[in-house]
Amino acid sequence: MREETPAIWLFGPLGAGKSTLARAAAAAWPGAGEVLDEDAAEGPAGTGGKVSRDALAKAELRAASDALALQRAGKGVVLARTSPWREPRVKAWSRLPGVFSVYLSCPLQVRVNRDESGLYQRALAGGLPGLPGLDAPFEKPAKGALVLDTARQTPAQALAELGRALWGRDGPEGRGKTAAPSMDQMVLERLADLGYI
């Protein structure tokens, strides 16, 4: 049976920089594949003017199914998800062979300042109760997960750190290399080195 193409799952509170980093990864590493961005698809707010834990949990499973379909088609995928609760995200990750999860950490004030959607302002005014990372808890990852501090790092620095975590250098091709294995092969080897597969 053919090995599945791995997925990179970026997660963190609204405004942490997930969409920016996902787009940067796809642009810098063409083999990274398609971007599945929660904000572009359904947004993090759930339904009915309130953030719904059930709606977000179902959305996690839908995202995992979409990513799995891309993997089975031989495509890489970078997901940008809020994924605030440990149990639903771990359940979603269990459906994706070779998933590499990355938590984007960023202080609340920086996230509020970055928020172009107005969701934080709406939540702060009481119009969106239960926003994870504001008035609902955001369950941080277990020890050992890759954490990128996007308040202190530029997108390029965060991308380079992600590349080093995956491949031991800034990206799948490295710098100054004239030939390199395919990105899929290198990601699988790196994930195996890290004990993910």
**DSSP string of 113-161, one letter each residue:** HH-SS-HHHHHHTTSSTT-BTTTB---PPPTTSEEEETTTS-HHHHHHH
Range of the domain at 103: 7-193
pLDDT score, position 136: 83
- Does any domain span residue 124? yes
**Is the entire prediction scored with pTM above 0.85?**
no
Residues in Cβ contact with 177 at an 8 Å cutoff, skipping those fewer than 6 apart: none
- Does any domain span residue 183? yes
Consecutive 10-residue averages of pLDDT for the chain (197 residues):
64 93 88 82 53 84 94 91 92 90 95 90 87 86 86 93 79 39 49 52
- Does any domain span residue 1? no
Report the greatest alpha carbon distance in the chain. Answer: 56
- Does any domain span residue 150? yes
- Does any domain span residue 15? yes
pLDDT score, position 18: 94
pLDDT score, position 193: 57
Sheet of 77-81: strands edge to edge? 34-37, 77-81, 7-11, 100-105, 146-149
Catalytic residues: 83
- Does any domain span residue 158? yes
pLDDT score, position 30: 75
Q: How many CB atoms lie within 10 A of CB 73?
A: 11
Q: What is the CATH number of the domain that holds 23?
A: 3.40.50.300
Q: How far apart are CA 174 and CA 178, in angstroms?
A: 9
- Does any domain span residue 170? yes
Q: What share of the chain is helix, strand, coil (3-state, %, to 5)?
A: 40, 15, 45
pLDDT score, position 130: 83
- Does any domain span residue 130? yes
Q: pLDDT digit string (tens) for 97-154? A: 889 999 999 999 999 999 888 889 888 998 888 888 888 888 988 876 799 999 999 9
When divided into structural domains, the chain yields a total of: 1
